[in-house]
Structure 1
Amino acid sequence: MGTQEPAVRPLRADAARNREKLLQAATEVFAEHGTEGSLEEIARRAGVGVGTLYRHFPTRACLVEQVYRHSVDEVCAAAPRLLEQLDPFEALSTWVDGFVGYVSRKKGMASALREALGPESEAVFADVHERLENAAAMLLGAAQEAGMARNDAEPLDILRSVSGMCMAAAASHDPERTRRVLALILDGLRYGAPAGAESTRTDSLAAV
């Protein structure tokens, strides 16, 4: 099941901090240079020695997988937090914007994992996909229950449309177009929503 480190016992506080700093630094370096980015540069940005990096992540494949999972952890953890802070549709919109960032950061990681792990990589991708779909379902369900999103939309619709948009954006190198398309996707989720329909009926009656 991938190269995930065995959960033997919790890390000491200083070791846990170093691991977190290494994951954050690796996320930056991989986003800038792909998964072949310098391990020495990752250690330098994290403020630790290369030996510390290898103690936490014995191979590049292990580091790539953990960066991949760490990015997913952050995206999924944001869902309930946003629902506590914002109205349901604003929470969904903010999460989708964060998901766009996640898709752009994982540049090359999927292919690197497939190459390093072979068939075992499919278990990693299946787990990640399930977690992301559950997070999207939590947010979309709340927006639908509040009448802020159309009832026929499904979590997978969001993941696929945003992922496709990101791939097209990477090819076009046009961030402004990306923002416009994302706005269209979100408007599409609102179109036909019960609350929006009620607002439209009220406005129409007021105009008579």
Structure 2
Amino acid sequence: MADAPRRTRRDALENRARLLEVAAQAFAEHGLATAPAAIAKKAGVGVGTLYRHFPTREALIDAAYRHQLAAVCERAPALLAEHPAEEAFRRWLTGFLDYVRAKHGMSEALNAVIASGVDPYSDSRTMLLHAIGTFQAADGALRADVPSEDVLLLIGGVAYSAQHCEEPQASRLIDLVLAALAR
């Protein structure tokens, strides 16, 4: 009889989550110049703990990116539980734009991950399409006849543009997206 897989201790899961949060912020602010030891220290763990979870810098960058995107996408159901679909989508899209702005600083680090042969974006499209579809299916306020793939391209363009404009203009772009998707 095979041994049952060991469950990860709660403190180990908390350490991992803290490392990912700190790493995402550090790589966004300082790129590849970020020392893993500094990330471990700021997360309140030893460098051995960092390397136990993430054996390479690239593994840490990849995991931090995926963790941040998952957090953005996983907000959809909670927002829908609190707000009508159109308002929930507005709040989600605003958070998504904030995430894209923060991720922009990680581009150098993500390029290093890609150069190592790992595709950090492999699950991104699926996660984002699922989040968008959740809003479209919610309460009929958003058009369901527009494919989620088209909405993703639209908000991708807005996200790119929002990195290069002031907040009032970014807010107007969100209004345009909502006007296009409103029933």
- Residue of structure 1 in register with 2:111 after alignment: 111
AA of the residue aligned to 1:23:
L
CA–CA distance in structure 2, aligned partners of residues 76 and 9 of structure 1: 29
SS at match of 1:106: helix
Greater shift, 43-52 or 16-25, is seen at 43-52
C-alpha displacement at 1:19, in angstroms?
0.8
CA–CA distance in structure 1, aligned partners of residues 177 and 128 of structure 2: 18
Identity %: 37
**Alpha-carbon spacing, 1:151–1:128, altered in 2? closer, same or farther (3 Å):** closer
- Residue of structure 1 in register with 2:178 after alignment: 186
TM-score under structure 1 normalisation?
0.75
- Residue of structure 2 in register with 1:100 after alignment: 97
The answer to whether the 8 A contact 1:30-1:105 is kept is no
- Residue of structure 1 in register with 2:160 after alignment: 167
- Residue of structure 2 in register with 1:56 after alignment: 53
SS at match of 2:123: helix
- Residue of structure 1 in register with 2:87 after alignment: 90
Q: Number of matched residues? A: 176
AA of the residue aligned to 1:133:
L
TM-score under structure 2 normalisation?
0.84
Structure 1: which 5+ residue stretches go unaligned? 1-7, 194-208
AA of the residue aligned to 1:130:
T
Higher-Rg member (1/2): 1
The answer to whether the 8 A contact 2:136-2:143 is kept is no
C-alpha displacement at 1:110, in angstroms?
4.2
The answer to whether the 8 A contact 2:86-2:178 is kept is no
The answer to whether the 8 A contact 1:79-1:139 is kept is yes
AA of the residue aligned to 1:140:
Q
**Alpha-carbon spacing, 1:36–1:182, altered in 2? closer, same or farther (3 Å):** farther
SS at match of 1:152: coil
Larger helix share, 1 or 2: 1
The answer to whether the 8 A contact 1:25-1:42 is kept is yes
User: 2:23 aligned with 1:26, yes or no?
Assistant: yes
Greater shift, 15-24 or 41-50, is seen at 41-50
User: 2:61 aligned with 1:68, yes or no?
Assistant: no
**Alpha-carbon spacing, 1:129–1:78, altered in 2? closer, same or farther (3 Å):** same
